[in-house]
A and B are shown apart, each in its own frame.
Chain A
Amino acid sequence: MSETKNNSNGTSRRNFLAVPVAAGVAAASVAAKASAAMSPAALMAEVGATSIQIPKRITESLSEAPKVGSFEGRGMTGAEVFAKLCKEEELAAMFCCPGNYTVINAIAAAGIPTYGGRCEGAMCAMADGFSRVTGEVTATSGTEGPGFTRMIMNVASAHAARTPLLVLASNMQMAWDDREYFIQTGYQQPTTTGMKKYGKRLIDPPRVHEYGAYAFRALKSGVPGVVHLDFPGEVARARYTESTKLTDFYTKERYRTESRAFPSPKDVEKCADMLTKAERPVIVAGHGVFHRKAWDVLQQMVERNEIAVVSSGPMRGHFPDDHRLSAAMSYKALMSADVVLFIGQYSMPSPTEYGFSPDVKSIRVHPEQEDLGRNWPLDLGIVSDERAFLEALDNKLGAKKRDAWVSEIAAQRAGFEKEIADIYAKGLTTSNETGLLHPAVIAKETHDFLYKGSIDKKQTVLGWGGWTIGNQTGRWLRAYRPGQVVNCAFQYGAIGPDMAMTIGAGAAVQRGVGPQKPYQGAPVFVITSDAGMAHSLFELDTASKYKIPIVALVYNNNSWGMWPNAAGSPRAEHMYLFQENLRYDQMAEGLGARGEYVLTPQQLRVALKRSYDIAAKQGISTLINCQAKKEFTVGVRLGPEPSVGAIMH
């Protein structure tokens, strides 16, 4: 088709290919001349391949000026029409692997920040991570069949987290449906059933803009979610020189609205009355509070009325952990609450899953009526946009002192701090006895480094996952400002996306998007597991290529931490175990990042400082391989809900 002859800047594919071929021939001839006399290292040096490096073409390509498609001249492809719409909708970034070429090239040309990496699943997680720390719509893309099916775990994760994620994939050509030509048409839409808010296989080329509008209407209205579009070649490569050939070609002001559901004054009054009468009220601030950027009004209101807050969702920080009204670490106090208000809680627990009293009165605010009352019976359900509701309630709610409640929260917070300090002390003894790193030690050392040392404690974005290590990290991580922590395993519990997701978050920090603006360029941290590493490790190439500095701590316990499940099944145990003492740090070095291998708390401390300094000053990533052993997985369970470290809801 036309795109194979000429791309949007008029360069033919043949001319484009001619350059590297010529360079390759030159290098080969140098090698041929030298090969007889030179050692392999000298030979490689001669051809310029001694060290890992970012090729000039990447740097140049990244600084190319954008070129949005237009109807002028040769007009726009269907892909360019779609890309233009994405640009107008301010799509924040796209993370992909090659495939779906016409579409990804058009999106890059349109000036949308784009990233290409090594595995579609990991790139999908990156797009999700970018969105989790900014609230922005992001996209991921892969080729039909193989690329698309590789994304699936992370599409499902994004769906569980209600991430506004646009999943794009090519899907052969309609002309070849069922012909088994090559890469047979996959039934993509049925594959994402139950994992999306909206999806469509585009089959009518002139409707490409119309369905782009469908996509962004779903992505930017109400409760966010995944949107999946698959593009057969006929749609992506169709050409348009005038708008009359495209259906419903009008702007976002007409195909969607920024209008939000406002609460009924009666409901606000009733809610204010219930809260005023309460002695120990709590607000569970879910990710709707983050998405609607309602953290300021929330804080202002609860400070005046002394209402405790615990945040929930796939990101943390929309209520600061160090606030005197934060109950994130006071899970035992939650049982005392007499009224609970859920707001922006999209993943809804059941009453036996959350630590509230059986007598608590429940209020829930949600933008969609049909979700109110699901899983958690209500005393008062209110349909409203989260921000609109908090503003209305803020106007209604007077000042109130609740000294006893505030001190109960403080006492339970102190109790929690003692609890984790005791676990750490035992972990430290274990570390000293074994010469290996106990997960509590890793979590506490990282905590001290990020929040108690010379770095601004609000600065560093941290992602976390894994099982044994996650259990400890969850208790020690802190969020002091919106979008500071990524709960990578939120709701879906996937082992694996952590590092990729945090690299995506790192891309947002690098660009200073939304709440990451004050910390633009700072390194990000992830604490993950050896099992998880298998899904993300190659993306250190991607982080290095785009100079997104990440410090990745890998809890290396030589196993899938579920190995105790093999108890009583001696023939099964091998399936849970890896080779011991694997060198993920050396693999990182092979991918252009740094590696550190640590066994003691002292070594870890030094490695943290060294890795951070190099990340901050030179933009270089490090993988810190923390050697442990499987026996440290005893009595592991995730933290109580809701609290710091909760990932289920």
Chain B
Amino acid sequence: MPKNDTFDQVATILQGYADKAIFRGYNKGKPSNGRVVHRLLWHREQVFELVMDTRRKTLHFPALLPKVPVKSEMYRAFQAFLREIASKERPTHRQIDPKKAKITCANRRGNVSLTLTVRDGDYEYAVRKLIALVHEIFRIFLLPYFDWECEVYDLDPDHP
């Protein structure tokens, strides 16, 4: 598929999520040099940047979770959570097929990023899986970390 079509295809999918109010707001960036930055108003009223890079074949959230120390229990749990995504224990519809996409995370001075590498050019599969994964991180993985959420997102705990 020509690059621009790939950009459009992903933008259409993301717009579809905005139309379903998964994102409360969506801004389709302008592609340049094989790269585009999408902005999503999503969980905890945060704007998430999703960087799509067709040269590297990646979809990347450079700042998914802030203030998670590398040596914390929370970061270890996060890595274990990601490992489980590919595990055969999970129902197939919830797995991310390692032949099609690979998930990695990194932690730079507490700032956790998440990257999906597209292995077979199927960007539709990739973007849908990635959005579902981040949604699951916020709806399920973060459940035990409410105090962290309150601090990081400056939440009023009366509105969990």
Contacts and interface: CB of A to CB of B under 8 A. Distances in A.
A292 B19 CA distance: 32
A358 B143 contact: no
B140 A640 contact: yes
Interface stretch (A80-88, A194-202, A630-638): A630-638
Nearest to B146: A637
B143 A351 contact: no
B43 interface: yes
Interface stretch (B57-65, B107-115, B130-138): B130-138
A355 interface: yes
A553 B143 CA distance: 27
B150 to A, nearest CB: 8
Interface residues of B, number: 27
Interface in B1-37: 17, 19-22, 24
Nearest to B93: A336
Interface residues of A, number: 30
Given A351-B22, A635-B144, A635-B146, A408 B91 contact: yes
Contact of B138 (A352, A377, A493, A637): A352
Contacts of A332: 140
A355 B147 contact: no
A638 B145 CA distance: 12
A355 B91 contact: no
B139 A636 contact: no
Contact of B135 (A357, A376, A638): A357
Contacts of B93: 279-280, 336
B12 to A, nearest CB: 14
A489 to B, nearest CB: 11
Given A351-B22, A634-B147, A358 B17 contact: yes
A270 B93 CA distance: 24
A586 to B, nearest CB: 31
A355 B138 CA distance: 9
Q: Identify the 10 closest CB pairs spanning chains A and B, nearest first.
A: A637-B146, A358-B22, A355-B139, A637-B160, A377-B20, A377-B21, A351-B21, A638-B160, A351-B22, A358-B131
A22 interface: no
B94 interface: yes
Contacts of A638: 160
A376 B147 contact: no
B146 A636 contact: yes
A362 B93 CA distance: 18
B143 A336 contact: no
Contact of A375 (B19, B21, B139): B21
A6 B35 CA distance: 87
A54 interface: no
Contacts of B143: 637, 640
Chain B interface, DSSP helix/strand/loop, else mixed: helix
A410 interface: no
Interface string B51-85: 00000000000000000000000000000000000
Contacts of A357: 132, 135
Given A352-B43, A375-B21, A564-B147, A335 B91 contact: no
A336 B19 contact: no
A359 interface: yes
Contact of B157 (A358, A377, A565): A565
A352 B158 CA distance: 17
23 contacts: A279-B93, A335-B132, A335-B135, A350-B24, A352-B22, A352-B42, A355-B140, A357-B135, A358-B128, A358-B131, A358-B132, A376-B21, A377-B20, A562-B158, A565-B157, A634-B147, A635-B145, A635-B146, A636-B146, A637-B146, A638-B160, A640-B139, A640-B143
Nearest to A565: B157
A280 B139 CA distance: 19
A415 B113 CA distance: 28
Contact of B91 (A362, A376, A404, A634): A404
B160 A335 contact: no
Contact of A335 (B17, B22, B131, B139): B139
A562 B43 CA distance: 23
Contacts of B91: 336, 404, 408
A562 B146 CA distance: 13
A634 B136 CA distance: 23
Contacts of A350: 21, 24
B139 to A, nearest CB: 5
Interface string B142-160: 0111110000000001101
Nearest to A338: B93
A376 B91 CA distance: 27
Given A351-B20, A355-B140, A562-B158, 18 more contacts: A335-B139, A335-B140, A336-B91, A336-B94, A350-B24, A351-B21, A351-B22, A352-B42, A352-B43, A352-B135, A352-B139, A358-B22, A375-B21, A564-B147, A564-B157, A565-B157, A634-B147, A648-B160
Contacts of A376: 21
Given A352-B42, A352-B138, A376-B21, A635 B147 contact: yes
Contacts of A404: 91
